[in-house]
Amino acid sequence: MITAIVGINWGDEGKGRMVDLLSEKYDIVSRYQGGNNAGHTVVNEKGKFILNLLPSGILRDTTVNVMGTGMVIDIEHLYNEVKSLTGAGIKITPDNLKISDRATICMPYHKQLDILEEERLADKKFGSTRRGIAPVYADKYYKKTLRMHDLLDLETAKEKLADILEWKNLTIANGYGKDPVKLEDMYNWLVKYGTFFKDYVCDTTYYLNNAIDEGKSVMFEAQLGALRDIDFGIYPYTSSSTVLAAYAPIGAGVPGRKLDCSIGIMKAYSSCVGEGPFTCELFGKEGDELREAGGEYGAATGRPRRVGGFDVPASKYGILLQGAKDCIALTKLDVLSYLDKIPICTKYLVDGVETDVFPQGKALAEAKPVYEYFDGWKTDISKCRSFEELPVQAQKYIRYIEKLTDCKIKYVSVGASREDYFEM
Ligand code: GDP
Ligand code: MG
């Protein structure tokens, strides 16, 4: 079975949590895009972990984890993440972690440029995680980056880096007026953090394809939600890579037709970290209470997330993009238990017309939410382990969401721990 686990909304839907749960049935978990701008919180019998770069299968003893070619990897961050997990007793060796030799290295100057540009933009900033992701993907498409295999031959890497820096310093020194980046500093950084990963870097394309030929099952783990996709999301307030299920095989190096299914992770309400249009946003007391109830603070950055009710136009669009109509995991349903009336954004008002089509550009920026209120259940549901155990109103909420978005909810998550869920 080759499955992509992907986000339906703006990210932070609980993908890491669902990968940790569902990876039990898979031999391999592979990330295929993004960098350490992700923050996946996983809670299981081993403890609570926040993963930025490592696939969420890393917490299972028998799962092999792959960091795919489509990723951008800050090796300093990865080194610290590996050390922190091994310090907590998690086994990480070249046997259970394989890093694509073709994945892109995110350098310190990418991070620096990300910060410089957000500061230059001031109140027009994009709300970047400032981890260098946009600059490194831009350089990848400029074909001016180092890739993980360069760590295997650092002398050649140094020569490549000298050429790259000659170009990069045109921007850093002449553009932003900062000190030019020194070749020696970057080389030392590569040696310091790259040496550790030499045994982890391998040809993951052959590894994955051979494994699939041998009948192994693979789960692709997305890092952000559909609405953050570089092409189809809320551009330019998106991530800088393709987060969609269709890209999973590409980012990992597996033929697209081998993908059997997508599991869409969809939140029972909405959250959005950073800037950009967020039509269903709730403000004031209503928003504050939901943020607190859901613990909506960014795992990667600690930033308070913006929140709103379940957003029908956005979720329908996400389900469409992810091809996940027949397999949705609804997460954080328990968070809504405190509400007398549950807000649902059923439609957008665009140019005076109600629609459930997700717009873009000016229409999206100016869209107004059409809210409806659904009677709550006002009971703790975190111990429920079947649909039948849920209060009737919670059952109705699930059925109503299915109807509004024309999807099939297969899993329901009612808490952050691995076992806090049931299958429908
Ligand atoms: P990801 O980026 O999609 O992996 O999601 P995050 O980990 O950034 O955000 C989801 C947050 O909600 C994390 O803190 C999880 O521990 C938590 N979480 C996941 N599922 C549930 C759930 O069903 N109920 C509750 N209360 N928390 C959950
Ligand atoms: Mg997250």
Domain end position, chosen among 150, 179, 196: 196
Instruction: Give the residue whose CA is nearest to atom 26 of ligand 1.
Output: 415
Which pLDDT band, with edges at 50, 70 and 90, does 129 fall under? Answer: confident
Statement to judge: residues 186 and 327 lie in one domain: no
Q: How far is CA 12 from CA 9, 40, 216, in A?
A: 8, 7, 28
Query: Is 11 a pocket residue for ligand 1 (Cβ < 6 Å)?
Result: yes
Given a cut of 90, whether residue 176 has pLDDT beyond it is yes
Domain end position, chosen among 196, 220, 236: 196
Catalytic residue (choose from 20, 40, 77, 110): 40
Statement to judge: residues 211 and 63 lie in one domain: yes
Overall domain count for the chain? 3
Statement to judge: residues 6 and 81 lie in one domain: yes
Query: Is 280 a pocket residue for ligand 1 (Cβ < 6 Å)?
Result: no
pLDDT the model gives residue 300: 64
Q: What is the DSSP string of 73-91?
A: E-HHHHHHHHHHHHHTT--
Give the residue among 302, 279, 318 at the shortest CA–CA distance from 406: 318
pLDDT the model gives residue 125: 87
Average pLDDT over residues 359-375: 97
What whole-number distance in Å separates Cα of residue 192 and Cα of residue 77? 12
Query: Is 414 a pocket residue for ligand 1 (Cβ < 6 Å)?
Result: yes
pLDDT tens for each residue of 1-59: 999 999 999 999 999 999 999 999 999 999 999 999 888 889 888 899 999 999 999 99
Instruction: Give the residue whose CA is nearest to atom 10 of ligand 1.
Output: 14
- In sequence order, the 6+-apart residues with CB closer than 8 A to the CB of 130 are 111, 114, 115, 118
Backbone angles phi, psi at 271, to 5 degrees: -145, 155
| CATH code for the domain in which residue 118 is found | 1.10.300.10
229 tagged catalytic: no
User: Please, is 118 exposed, middle or buried when counting C-beta atoms within 10 Å of its C-beta (0-12, 13-18, 19+)?
Assistant: middle
Statement to judge: residues 344 and 242 lie in one domain: no
pLDDT tens for each residue of 292-351: 999 999 766 778 999 999 999 999 999 999 999 999 999 999 999 999 999 999 999 999
Statement to judge: residues 209 and 192 lie in one domain: no
Statement to judge: residues 214 and 244 lie in one domain: yes
Query: Is 299 a pocket residue for ligand 1 (Cβ < 6 Å)?
Result: yes
pLDDT the model gives residue 384: 98
pLDDT the model gives residue 145: 98
Domain end position, chosen among 177, 196, 215: 196
Statement to judge: residues 87 and 235 lie in one domain: yes
pLDDT tens for each residue of 60-71: 999 999 999 999
Query: Is 331 a pocket residue for ligand 1 (Cβ < 6 Å)?
Result: yes
| CATH code for the domain in which residue 317 is found | 3.90.170.10
Rg (Cα) of the chain, in Å, rounded?
22
CA of 17 to the centre of ligand 2 (A): 10
Statement to judge: residues 411 and 290 lie in one domain: yes
CA of 25 to the centre of ligand 2 (A): 23
Q: Which of 8, 9, 17, 29 to mutate to test the pocket of ligand 1 (most atoms within 8 A of CB)?
A: 17
Statement to judge: residues 79 and 227 lie in one domain: yes
Average pLDDT over residues 167-185: 97
Statement to judge: residues 90 and 109 lie in one domain: no
pLDDT the model gives residue 339: 98
What whole-number distance in Å separates Cα of residue 27 and Cα of residue 407? 28
Sequence length of the chain is 424
Instruction: Give the residue whose CA is nearest to atom 28 of ligand 1.
Output: 416
| CATH code for the domain in which residue 233 is found | 3.40.440.10
Statement to judge: residues 19 and 152 lie in one domain: no
Q: What is the residue range of 149's domain?
A: 104-196
CA of 298 to the centre of ligand 1 (A): 10
pLDDT the model gives residue 214: 98
Joined together, the tokens standing for residue 415 give: 């808490």
pLDDT the model gives residue 299: 66
Which pLDDT band, with edges at 50, 70 and 90, does 126 fall under? Answer: confident
pLDDT the model gives residue 39: 84
The share of the chain scoring above pLDDT 90, in percent, equals 92
Mean residue pLDDT across the chain: 96
40 tagged catalytic: yes
pLDDT the model gives residue 275: 86
Q: Which of 129, 332, 418, 420 to mutate to test the pocket of ligand 1 (most atoms within 8 A of CB)?
A: 332
Please identify, by atom number, the ligand 1 atom nearest to the C-alpha of residue 19.
Answer: 4
Query: Is 19 a pocket residue for ligand 1 (Cβ < 6 Å)?
Result: no
Joined together, the tokens standing for residue 217 give: 């099952």
- In sequence order, the 6+-apart residues with CB closer than 8 A to the CB of 65 are 28, 29, 30, 54, 55, 57, 58, 96, 97, 98
Ligand of minimum distance to the alpha carbon of 55:
1
Statement to judge: residues 235 and 378 lie in one domain: no
